[in-house]
Amino acid sequence: MTRGDGGRCLFEGKDDYGLFLQHLRKAKKRFGFKLYAYCLMPNHFHLLMRVSAISISVIMHWLQLVYAKRFNSRRNRWGHVFQDRFKAKLCGDDGYFLRLLRYIHRNPVRSGLVESPSQWPWSGHQELVGSQGAGPIDKEFPLSLYSDDQREAVRLYLESTSNDDSDDSDDILEATEFSIEPSTTDEEPRPALDWRQAAAEVSEWTRIGLPTLLGPSRERSASRARHVLIRRLLTGGMRPVDIAGALGCSPALISKACLDS
């Protein structure tokens, strides 16, 4: 969850909502996470996601930065768009997951913007129930928690989100301890690439000599090739801190490669 700076709007119209969703789709493709629910509200948004090799910090940093740049550029302004650091909670069981799924998609109802989740176009609700085409939601897992039969799962999900909010409050976000970096996932971790082999491959693809690729050269072609190598190591399961150590570079360079579009 993250909010607009000082409570100001993050999304001022359809174009802003659409722009953020474009970046969200790019982030999924770039970083390989699963997205189970989302809701974009005028001054904040919620994402329910499962990360793998790339940490939540890297994902959110990239997503917020690229959106903030476009948001400000459209308005010929500068300054902060988001308020402080995002907040992340670790969801450790199926019951809590289902409460979060309901909470996130009923957010516009609780705020008085609409009367039902289906009336709010900027969430994953309509995609879950099949009334909207393919989008960023990975719906198989959330629906499987209701029933193995998809039609029955959708019916049960709709039943849960149509009830009033007497059992819903912001306390749900305090149900677990604060966790900025989940330590485990339900998926088997992918083995990290051999960074030396990956460097040799990138050197061959880019035609940048290995000493130049791994050296301090700031030439544009060398920097681009180095960023390609860093992103390949990240998506291959290597931690940013280990990449920095292997390549003898600063953590700042790893962050820059992650954010480079």
> How does pLDDT run across 131-186, given as a tens digit for each residue?
666 789 999 999 999 999 999 999 999 998 987 654 555 556 654 333 334 333 34
In this prediction, residue 144 carries a pLDDT of 93
Distance CA 126, CA 183 (A): 31
Domains of the chain and any CATH numbers: 2-174 (3.30.70.1290), 195-259 (1.10.1750.10)
As a whole number, mean pLDDT of residues 11-32 equals 91
Distance CA 103, CA 90 (A): 15
Name the residue type at position 190.
R
Does residue 113 surpass a pLDDT of 70? yes
Q: Which two tokens stand for residue 11?
A: 């999304």
> How does pLDDT run across 241-254, given as a tens digit for each residue?
788 888 887 766 67
Comparing 14-28, 131-145, 153-167, 193-207, which segment has the lowest mean pLDDT?
A: 153-167
> Cα-atom radius of gyration of the chain, to the nearest Å?
20
Dihedral angle sign, alpha carbons of residues 211, 215, 218, 222: positive
> How does pLDDT run across 116-128, given as a tens digit for each residue?
999 999 999 999 9
- Of 38, 46, 44, the C-alpha closest to 11 is 44
CA dihedral defined by 142, 41, 89, 250, rounded to 10 degrees?
A: 110
